[in-house]
A and B are shown apart, each in its own frame.
Chain A
Amino acid sequence: MKKSKYINLVLITATLASCDKPKNDWDENNKVHLRSDTTAPYTRVHHNSGVGTALLWYYAFRPYGNYRNGEYRRAGYYSGGIPAASNIGSNRFKGAVTRGGFGRSGFSVSS
């Protein structure tokens, strides 16, 4: 039934271990205001309770940019965890692509 007794995981244990942290720093009573672009205003963000393990992923600020003439240009940072107004500001690179058109139908696909 089993082809081999040896299983190697190259990615998942490290990745997910980094998600599995206590959420002490994210107490629900804390007021958190974030922005991802210096040209954008701060807004207060909220998170659902009981999902502390994934919060670091949710609010992560990821590098954002584009390729032009084969050259990558960093436009700044983006986080899907904060309102659009605090993500884009007047940054024209960020404004060229629409985001957020997927991901609104549910909280998990668990089957």
Chain B
Amino acid sequence: MKRITTTPRNHWQAEVEKLGFGFHTTNVPYWDESVYYELSLAEVLAIEKATATLWELCLGAVQHVIDHKLYQQFRIPEWIVPLIEKSWTEDHPSIYGRFDLCYKNGEIKMLEFNADTPTSLYEAGIVQWFWLQEKDAQKDQFNSVHERLIQYWKYLKNYLNPGILHFTCLKETLEDLTNTEYIRDCAIQAGIETKLVFIDDLGWDHQQKQFVDLEGQAVTNIFKLYPWEWLLAEDFGKHIPEDSNRTLWIEPAWKMILSNKALLPILWQLYPDSPYLLPAYFEEGRLENYARKPILSREGANIDLVMKQLTIQQTEGEYGADGYIYQELFTLPNFADHYPVIGSWVIGQEPAGMGIREADTLVTDNKSRFVPHMIVS
């Protein structure tokens, strides 16, 4: 894995905007093509293998948590447990997830799993692919995001409830809208009738006991780019179990187990011999060098990196009220003071590609940059 500095394309902003990528620059650059990473095919195959293996381990962990009713460790409220178990027993489908991996000195370690609302899918599947076509079309990329999304929607089409497939996300965030509309784009190409309704606009019909969109149309299948823990904490959350349409939520309720960092100690407890896992515990004091992470947090918030009782990095945020886990410290590789994390995608149960986000610190936060990659022989 090599970090290559290069000259960005002339008018690169216009090129990516033509793709519908409107959030390439915010207060700080987000899409950064002044840099790319080269990986060998062997390295990519290793990432692919790790991703497939980790997905299998995660499914095993969900079964374990359900079998042993470990919901309290995940701070999952009891009233939603029947829905989680039902969604698992009935095999409600998962479209995607993104493992954040550290690849250093030939070792691949899972840092966490963004299982419920992963973003950067559009950058990984589309923007960096079109970058490669202009940069060096003869080269390849670990990227079958687009094909797999369409393929999996085609497969799921027959498993959806009657009715259309709604897509929802927050208003006023172009990043969320882009990710949501991209996934909807793929569903349309799979022949599914779809409709966008912002999460703020969803209605609850008290008489029919169903969710409705702005035209009063009943919601029976819905893809949400909105975390389960937020849904449950809000006024309409309590209506989900009493929904007369038994709406199919995607990602499904069982993903609450995988999108929670309490997963990490559970995985370590179950699979201590896995080469892809780091030791992780619920209790403090079992590790000398560790990352303390809130069980529910986003974008690298509220993380402490500790070496021999000294905090070497600390990020701020508003998370942590639900508790923390402690994961052995495995610092990101240093490429000239830039620290890349690999986001490896699972789509339709299969490894599907990767994106790299690069930060200037050991914690990948909301100021990190997305940088493209290519495979070299």
A-side interface residues toward B, CB under 8 Å? 1-5, 7-17, 19-20, 47-48, 50-51, 53-55, 57-58, 62-67, 72, 78, 80-81, 96-111
Whether the Cβ atoms of B202 and A101 lie closer than 8 Å is yes
Does A109 lie within 8 Å of B225, measured CB to CB? yes
* A9-B126, A103-B234 known; A53 vs B114 contact (CB < 8 Å): no
The answer to whether B204 and A96 touch across the interface, beta carbons within 8 angstroms, is: no
A13, A48, A97, A98: the one within 8 Å of B20 (CB): A13
- Whether A1 and B239, one on each chain, are in contact in the complex, defined by CB atoms closer than 8 angstroms, is no
Q: Is B273 an interface residue (CB 8 A)?
A: no
B residues near A, CB below 8 A? 17-23, 26-27, 44, 98, 114, 117-120, 122, 126, 129-130, 133, 140-144, 146-147, 169-178, 181-182, 184-185, 188-189, 198-207, 212, 214-217, 225-227, 230-231, 233-237, 239, 298-299, 353, 366, 375
Q: How far is the CA of A78 from the CA of B206 in the complex (A)?
A: 19
State whether A101 and B126 are in contact (beta carbons under 8 Å apart), knowing that A80-B171, A110-B366 are contacts in the complex: no
Q: A16-B177, A63-B214 are in contact. Are A107 and B170 (CB under 8 A)?
A: yes
B218 closest partner in A (C-beta): A67
> A73–B86 Cα gap in the complex (Å)?
36
Hey, which chain B residues are within 8 Å of A55, CB to CB? 172
Contact pick for B202, options A7, A9, A62, A99, CB 8 Å: A99
Q: Answer whether A9 and B20 are a contact pair too, CB < 8 Å, given A102-B200, A102-B231, A109-B176.
A: yes
Enumerate chain B residues within 8 angstroms of A9, measured Cβ to Cβ: 19-20, 126, 182, 185
Q: Is the Cβ of B147 less than 8 Å from the Cβ of A98?
A: no
- Interface CB pairs A-B, < 8 A, 21: A3-B147, A7-B129, A9-B126, A16-B21, A16-B177, A20-B20, A20-B174, A48-B172, A54-B172, A63-B214, A64-B216, A67-B216, A101-B202, A101-B204, A101-B234, A102-B199, A102-B234, A103-B170, A108-B170, A108-B173, A111-B117
Cβ contact within 8 Å between A7 and B170: no
**Complex contact B216–A97 (CB within 8 A):** yes
Chain B hits for A96, CB < 8 A: 205, 207
Q: Are A1 and B44 in contact (CB under 8 A)?
A: yes
Interface of B is mostly: mixed
Which of B172, B181, B188 has a CB less than 8 Å from the CB of A51? B172
What residues of A have a CB within 8 angstroms of the CB of B227 in the complex? 105, 109
Q: B198 to chain A: which residues have CB within 8 Å?
A: 57, 80, 103
Closest residue of chain B to A105 (Cβ to Cβ) is B230
B200 engages A16 (CB within 8 Å): no
| Total A-B pairs, Cβ < 8 A | 191
Pairwise interchain contact A110-B298, C-beta atoms closer than 8 A: yes
A103: B residues at CB distance < 8 A: 170-171, 198-200, 202, 226, 234
A47 to B215, CA, bound (A): 25
Chain B positions within 8 Å of A58 at CB level: 171-172
Chain B residues near A7: list those with CB within 8 A: 126, 129-130, 146
Residues of chain A with a CB closer than 8 A to B353's CB: 1
Among B26, B200, B231, which residue has its beta carbon within 8 angstroms of that of A100?
Answer: B200
- Which of B20, B129, B203 is within 8 Å of A12, CB to CB? B20
Whole-angstrom CA separation of A105 from B221 in the bound complex: 22
Chain A nearest CB, measured from B127 CB (Å) = 11
CA A91 to CA B206, docked complex, whole Å = 17
A9 to B188, CA, bound (A): 10
Residues of B within 8 A of A5 (CB): 133
- Name which residue of chain B comes closest to A9, CB basis: B185
Cα distance A48–B306 in the bound complex, in angstroms? 37
Collect the chain A residues with CB atoms within 8 Å of residue B141's CB: 1-2
A22 CB to closest chain B CB, in angstroms?
Answer: 12
Residues of B within 8 A of A47 (CB): 172
Which of A20, A97, A104 is close to B212, meaning CB atoms less than 8 Å apart? A97
Measured CA separation A108–B255 after assembly (Å): 19
Chain B residue nearest in CB terms to A51: B172
Q: Which residues of B contact A10 (CB under 8 A)?
A: 185, 188-189
Smallest beta-carbon distance A102→chain B, Å: 5
Evaluate contact between A54 and B20: CB separation under 8 angstroms: no
